[in-house]
Amino acid sequence: MDFNKLIARVKNILLTPKTEWPAAAAESDTVAGLYTNYILILAAIPPVFGFIKSSLIGYSFLGISYRASIGSGISGMIVQYALSLALVYVVALIIDALAGSFSAQKNQVQALKTVAYAYTASWVASVGVIVPGLGWLLLLAGAIYGIYLLYLGLPHTMKCPADKAGGYTAVSIVIAIVLTWIVMLVVGAVVGTGALMGAGTGAIHIGSRGGDVTIDANSALGKLAAIGQRAEEASKKMEAAQKSGDVNAQAQAAGQAAGAVLGAVLGGGDQVEALAPDTLKPFLPDTLGGLPRASYEAARNAQIGIQVSNAKATYRNPQGGPELDLEITDTGGVKGITAFAGFVGIEEDKQTDRGYEKTYRADGRMIHEQWDNGGSGTYTIVLGDRFVVAVRGHQVNDINTIKAAVASLNLAGLEALKNVGVKKG
């Protein structure tokens, strides 16, 4: 995969679509090539940033805060990604099927090309989900611009008359919206949030002439460029399967390609085996904040080969009173998400008469604090861009009680394990 070409295509389709669409339409492509070289990468943006928002930042509305668990967030992200890949193809089939009704030329590859490039604006704008307050404006702008891109592209890719492009666009958008809402409802059911919905400098430099693009190899985006190479073998299998005409082989190859890219993106370019439950147990002390441990559990799970480990413990006195809940998550196969979260520089600070909530970085670690004046709060810290440690307090005096509990943990020992089980990509 030529990542420089991908970046240049994104830049041109967004900034100069009137000249880019004819060039894109004239290119010789295949379904496998479009997925491997474009769709698989860009379609990962919404689920990745959606996970960051739902499980690392959380939602707040009218004084009520909600943050999905790491486990449900990962499940929702994987489901969203898989459904999004299917959605693109289904919408392309619909656009191809509608071609005759608008005097256009049927061509499934060109229809897929149309959908992929028209979706670019929405995919890129989905980073706005993590922007406090005004992020929804960026998402809306991306959706509207995507409609405009589709309107401009149909006459070139599907060869429809210019005077019928408006109707062709309108019908296609209505169908796409319905299908998208179905995807959101499915993902919402998995995550449990219903239909809820400044990159670091120096990562990309776009030259002023000739579309020159250079990428800092040490940036998160540069690492993403290296990830594309992991899909090359799967891409070749997809092309071979397509030529053979074997539908089952095509489906299997497509699944392998999606898994290769998703696993690489979520792992930050590495293959990661999460820590075994027995390795996490020692980090659940017998007492925390002066309270005895009442229960604990630890497990390691894998979804489509992506491993995540989780350990939980509750601390309280039998007679009642304050309670602390400790949760340690080894993001393992999705450790790349925490790296992306740091890369985009998430920071937030909100305060109301009921309490406060803020996200910031200190000593290279991402930290999230949330406090409710009713006597409950949460202090979360990310270690080594891999381990998420969260302590939730109930019936406690203030946030300092929770902070002290976190500080008493063996954080350094846990962080020292950040490279255990990591196989460099």
Write out pLDDT tens, residues 265-284: 454 555 678 899 999 999 99
What tens digit of pLDDT does each residue of 307-332 get?
778 899 999 999 989 999 999 988 77
Do 400 and 290 reside in the same domain of the chain?
A: yes
Do 209 and 281 reside in the same domain of the chain?
A: no
Q: How far apart are CA 172 and CA 186, in angstroms?
A: 21
Beta strands at 355-362 and 365-372: parallel, antiparallel or unpaired: antiparallel
Distance, CA of 159 to chain centre: 34
- pLDDT, position 284: 96
Do 170 and 245 reside in the same domain of the chain?
A: yes
Give domain status of residue 71, yes or no: yes
- pLDDT, position 49: 81
SS3 376: strand
Closest-CA residue to 240 (of 248, 228, 255, 250):
250
- Identify the domain boundary among 266, 288, 311: 266
Number of Cβ within 10 Å of residue 105's Cβ equals 13
Do 115 and 80 reside in the same domain of the chain?
A: yes
Encoding tokens for residue 326?
């400790």
Do 180 and 326 reside in the same domain of the chain?
A: no
- Identify the domain boundary among 240, 266, 292: 266
Beta strands at 204-206 and 213-215: parallel, antiparallel or unpaired: antiparallel
- pLDDT, position 4: 82
Do 262 and 281 reside in the same domain of the chain?
A: no
Counting the structural domains of the chain, the total is: 2
Asked if residues 92 and 69 have their Cβ atoms less than 8 Å apart, the reply is: no
Q: What is the pTM of this model?
A: 0.50
Do 255 and 300 reside in the same domain of the chain?
A: no
Q: At what angle do helices 232-244 and 247-266 cross, to 10 degrees?
A: 170
Q: Point out the residues of the chain with pLDDT beneath 70.
A: 1, 56-72, 130-137, 178-271, 302-306, 333-347, 424-425
Give domain status of residue 166, yes or no: yes
DSSP state of 99: G
Torsion on CA atoms 108, 112, 113, 117, rounded to nearest 10: 160
- Identify the domain boundary among 236, 266, 296: 266
Closest-CA residue to 29 (of 109, 116, 118):
109
Do 288 and 240 reside in the same domain of the chain?
A: no
The whole domain housing 161 covers: 3-266
Do 261 and 297 reside in the same domain of the chain?
A: no
Give domain status of residue 272, yes or no: no
Do 234 and 370 reside in the same domain of the chain?
A: no
- pLDDT, position 55: 72
Give domain status of residue 123, yes or no: yes
Do 206 and 66 reside in the same domain of the chain?
A: yes
Give domain status of residue 390, yes or no: yes
Do 158 and 236 reside in the same domain of the chain?
A: yes
Closest-CA residue to 275 (of 329, 205, 213):
329
Give domain status of residue 271, yes or no: no
- pLDDT, position 326: 95
- pLDDT, position 159: 94
SS3 119: coil
